[in-house]
Amino acid sequence: MAEQFRTAWAGACIYEYAEIDSTNLCAARLADQGAEHGTLIVAQSQTAGRGRRGRGWESPAGDNIYMSLILRPDFGAEKAPMLTLVMAYSVVQALEEAVCDRVKIKWPNDLVIGTKKICGILTEMKLLETAIDRVIIGVGINANVDTFPMEIRNTATSLKLETGKAADCSALIGRILEKFEANYDAFAVKQDLSDILEGYNHRLVNKDREVRILEPGNEYEAVARGINSAGELLVQKKNGELETVFSGEVSVRGIYDYV
């Protein structure tokens, strides 16, 4: 697989598995043993695929993408959440070039086609005192799966279902790494999202749409206006005031059944 990558460091070292518990968990174990910046873990299937907020990630064998990248940044831990957005943007760029130009970003890091999810990203960080030991970015892409369990049938789709063609997963992983490496290197210099801001907002499905902000103890409706260079979502409340949202769940009307 590595021979397909035109990268300097992303994927320079690769661990491939037919089956693993979770590529993120495997990456954490390898990172604890000293795995380098750019180490990639890829699996054909996961027995304990993990999603955000303690959810699982459906991970059958059948030519989907389950991958995790180990990063050893030397910037401050407060910058790390932005890496998720850098990855989301990199995956969209790769998919646009190679597979489908209808992929959009649901802030901060879900990728959707139409109203259905095609890709999820799980970023996990470990600190040593206050400095970053490592960041692990896990990416799950529904590539060639044909059917989904009942619970997610209305909210998930795959590249194959959307395009009618089987996606070449190895080639796609290579392209994602190329995009991510370039975007990460630019991010590491400025330590903000200014280089990808315009491109990210251009692909943001939330932009100028009604969203429901689901912050603990504070739920409200607003219109999303795009992200700023810190990765926060700017939303306009009904009274015209602008607010920045930096974490928490955001529902977009018409996406994942929010009506």
122, 42 Cβ separation under 8 angstroms:
no
The tokens 């795959």 sit on which residue?
158
Q: How far is the CB of 194 from ligand BTN (least distance, A)?
A: 26
Given the rule CB under 6 A, which residues bind ligand BTN? Answer: 22-24, 46, 49-52, 55, 57, 66-68, 110, 120-122, 138-140
Beta carbon of residue 189, minimum distance to ligand BTN (angstroms, whole number): 27
Residue 5 neighbours by CB under 8 Å, 6+ apart: 11, 174, 177, 178
Between CA 117 and CA 114 the distance in angstroms is: 8
User: What is the signed CA dihedral for 232, 238, 239, 243, rounded to 10 degrees?
Assistant: -10
Q: How far is the CB of 24 from ligand BTN (least distance, A)?
A: 4
Instruction: State in angstroms the smallest separation of the CB of 182 from ligand BTN.
Output: 22
Segment holding 87, helix H or strand E: helix 81-98
Which residue shows structure tokens 């401050």? 76
**CB nearer to ligand BTN: pick between 75 and 256:** 256
Nearer to ligand BTN, 73 or 138 (CB): 138
Q: Which residue has the CB atom at the shortest distance from ligand BTN?
A: 120
C-beta of 118 vs 211, nearer to ligand BTN: 118
* CB of 140 closer than 8 Å to CB of 119: yes
Q: Which is nearer to ligand BTN, 195 or 200 (CB)?
A: 200
Which one, 195 or 227, has the nearer CB to ligand BTN?
Answer: 227
Which residues are CB-neighbours of 69 under 8 A, at least 6 positions away?
10, 11, 27, 38, 39, 40, 41, 87, 136, 137, 139, 177, 180
Q: Do 227 and 242 form a contact (C-beta atoms < 8 A)? A: no
State in angstroms the smallest separation of the CB of 48 from ligand BTN.
7
Do residues 26 and 18 lie in contact, with contact meaning Cβ atoms separated by under 8 Å? no
We find the least distance from the C-beta atom of residue 2 to ligand BTN, in angstroms, to be 19
- Residue 52 to residues 121, 146, 218, Cα–Cα distance (Å): 8, 23, 20
Token couple for 245: 């949202």
Query: Closest distance between ligand BTN and the C-beta of residue 206, in Å?
Result: 16
When the beta carbons of 50 and 175 are compared against ligand BTN, the nearer one is 50
- Pick between residue 11 and residue 49 the one whose CB is nearest to ligand BTN: 49
Rounded distance, CA 190 to CA 174, Å?
25
